[in-house]
Structure 1
Amino acid sequence: MRRLWAAMLTAALAVGTSPGTASAGSARRAAASPVVAADQATRAVHVLDGGLTQWDAGGDSRGVLWSWSADGQQELGDLDPDSSWTNPSEAKFRELDGRRYLLATASGGLAAVVGYPDREVYWAADTGTGNAHSIDLLPDGNVAVAASTGGYVRLYAASAGPRVTRHAQVALAGAHGVHWDPGTRLLWALGSRELVALKVSGSAGDPALSVARRVDLPTRNGHDLAPVLTARGRLWVTTASAVYQYATAQGRFVSYPLQSRISGPGVKSIGDDPRTGQVLLARPEPGNPCDWCTSTLTLYQPDGTRTLLRGGVYKARWWTTARGQ
């Protein structure tokens, strides 16, 4: 049955439709990209139908298209997922050499790159107690990880093997976000007080990192870093109090549509759908059993909400391999 479901997912990707949706008679649902959520309530990452307004990860919901958790994965047993997979903190979708991958981290220390839809582990490591907070996959197959309390950005030589822990490291206080930008060919990282651009050198098997640019943040406590997918050369940057866009070519923070409505405190993740331009963000909601989580995601242009029933979503993103330009 699992092989049949994997085949159906692969077929859906091949024709450019969301898994579990039909290409005919479902224009409304096909217009929006799926959503991926790092859900701390279920200790899992869920890919969700972007055309629905409500999902139930705890039941037999047609809106949950695909899920992954490190729990119970025998091939990850050496990394102690009971501990290292505590509080999933990041989920991204990337493509490398014609294959697609889920990228995930957890505050407990696990960082993993997992094949989609087959769930085969490309690379995984226990990064330790530094609160792994974000991850990205570079064109050479290596993996970058940002850790907030650890105060570092690491570039692991993941291309050398599925458990390789050799890495380059740069200190960055409060490192919360990391993003490989194909336009600048730099690894961008977000800390408590600055946005930095890192140059990657060395070889794939023995990488090196150096700081190419430092940018002071307009406000403190940087949190999320993501590409603006509908505007060339821009990055989303969130802090404890606001949401910004940074133009990499101009080297400055710039205004953007609906800024007065979108910008606000406590945004844990943000991104725009390359298909529709719709903006998706996650911020903690009062009353959630997890103080830093939400069950309700907010949308702009057009406005709306999406709810994961009983959810403890920390970050949510559009399920797209696009990285920006």
Structure 2
Amino acid sequence: MLRRTPRTPRTLPALFLTLLLCAPAGRASATPLGRQVVAADQASRRVLVLQTAEELMAYQGPDRLPVVWSWSADRAPDLADLAPERSWTNPDEAKSRIRQGRRYLLTTASGGLAAVVETTTGRTRWAADLGTAVNPHSIELLPDGNVAVAASAGGWVRLYAASQGPRATVHAVFPLPGAHGVHWDGRGGLLWVLGDESLTALRVGGTPAAPTLTAVRSTPLPDPGGHDLGPVLAEPGRFWVSTLNGLWSYDPAADRFTPVHLADPAADRDVKSIGDEPGTGRLLTVTPDHTAPCDWCTSVIRLHRPEGVRTLRGTHLYKARWWGGR
């Protein structure tokens, strides 16, 4: 179910936000001020679409979070059969994808849920409860409508025949210890997957109803503990890779990892998510605080090049990304 935040007094900035909130349900998108930010918040059990980077840096809080749009499996009637009270525990991924002119939220939770949600309606295109033991950690929507899910505790990447229906369970599987990241590279026509020790390219075969996965190449990581994988938008064809101790840009053509150094060396370590804003190249990262009550989460969104830090009190953020169309 889509939720809108309360209206604010109609100052000029507030009027702009009100216009966004009064748009048709779920129409969170890029604004003239830049890209909005999407975050997985484990405290509220919601995916939050936040204001743009410029607006976030001006946000004073803590009276009201700068939320433009939100979604929760707890309030989605069409997911009631998947026990969201358990399966939606600790949401840990949120991505935006556009297919055939429609925007989709891609999300997973450690409790077992994986889902693809159409943002304009809030309806679920596909979802599955994968159980509490596997820890779904990332998700990708392929051009044919099938869905790839990486599960870190399960040690696999599965490609579900989601194009066949909203509860399709037929899948291909690729074993991958510590599977954390998955990304479809349309330029190369490959599904890239990130594990504890390696970055692997998979070729998708078979049919949409009966897909297959075949490893094409695999490259050892320069540092163990692979965590996040995504496109470098400023350099098409390259990927962001985060590991336990570093950030990297990977060039598949040269099969080479190049270290990425941020202004604060400590910000390079244990990064849960990283991405560059289209057009500006500004980086957005999330790094855990390692403090109670959620030592794998944070309430802080960090921007780099130029630098900026914003604390969103009361949140337990696991990942945050630019809410961009891909």
TM-score interval, smaller chain: 0.7 to 0.9
CA contact under 8 A between 2:3 and 2:71: conserved in structure 1?
no
**In the superposition, relative to structure 1, how do residues 33 and 114 fare at CA in structure 2: closer, same or farther (>3 Å)?**
same
Please say if 1:87 is aligned against 2:102.
Answer: no
Q: Does 1:127 align with 2:130?
A: yes
User: In structure 1, what is the equivalent of residue 9 of structure 2?
Assistant: none
Indicate whether 1:136 and 2:140 are aligned: yes
Shift of 1:265: 1.6
Aligned residue for 1:27? none
Q: Please tell me whether the aligned partners of residues 104 and 111 of structure 1 are also in contact (alpha carbons under 8 angstroms).
A: yes
| Cα distance in 1 between the residues matched to 2:194 and 2:136 | 13
Q: Please give the residue correspondences for 1:1-325 in structure 2 after superposition, counting only pairs within 5 Å.
A: 8-9=23-24, 17-18=30-31, 30-50=32-52, 51-53=55-57, 54=59, 60-61=64-65, 63-128=66-131, 129-256=133-260, 258=262, 261=265, 264-322=268-326
Cα pair distance change 1:229/1:17, threshold 3 Å: closer
> Deviation at 1:176?
0.4
Distance verdict in 2 for CA 1:310–1:263, change over 3 Å: closer
Q: Deviations over 1:79-113 (max 9, x none)?
A: 00011101101000001111110000001110000
Distance (whole Å) between structure 2 residues aligned to residue 122 and residue 318 of structure 1: 22
Percent identity over the alignment is 51
TM-score, normalised by the number of residues in structure 2: 0.88
**Secondary structure of the structure 2 residue equivalent to 1:49:** strand
- Unaligned stretches of 5+ residues in structure 2: 5-18
Name the CA shift for 1:270/1:55 in 2 (closer, same or farther; >3 Å).
farther
Are the structure 2 counterparts of residues 242 and 33 from structure 1 closer, same or farther at C-alpha, using a change threshold of 3 Å? same
How far apart, in 2, do the equivalents of 1:259 and 1:59 lie?
Answer: 31
Would you say the 8 A contact 1:154–1:170 is kept in 2? yes
Contact kept? 2:276, 2:322, Cα under 8 Å: yes
Question: Residues of 2 paired with 1:137 and 1:320: CA distance?
Answer: 14
DSSP-derived class of the 2:153 partner? coil
Distance between the aligned counterparts of 2:252 and 2:146, measured in 1? 23
Cα distance between partner residues in 1 of 2:75 and 2:90: 16
Write the distance in 2 (CA, Å) between the matches of 1:59 and 1:124: 34
User: Structure 2: how far apart are the matches of 1:161 and 1:229?
Assistant: 31
Q: How much has 1:315 moved relative to structure 2?
A: 0.4
Instruction: Provide the secondary structure at the position in 2 that maps to 1:82.
Output: helix
Q: How many residue pairs are counted as aligned between the two chains?
A: 307
Q: Deviations over 1:9-38 (max 9, x none)?
A: 47967xx743xxxxxxxxxxx333100000
TM, length-normalised to structure 1: 0.88
Q: Which moved more, 1:45-54 or 1:151-160?
A: 45-54
Instruction: Encode CA deviations 1:44-103: one digit per residue, 9 max, x unaligned.
Output: 1000002223487x9654x21100000132211110001110110100000111111000
How far apart are 1:231 and its partner, in Å? 1.0
State the alpha-carbon separation in 2 of the partners of residues 166 and 186 from structure 1. 20
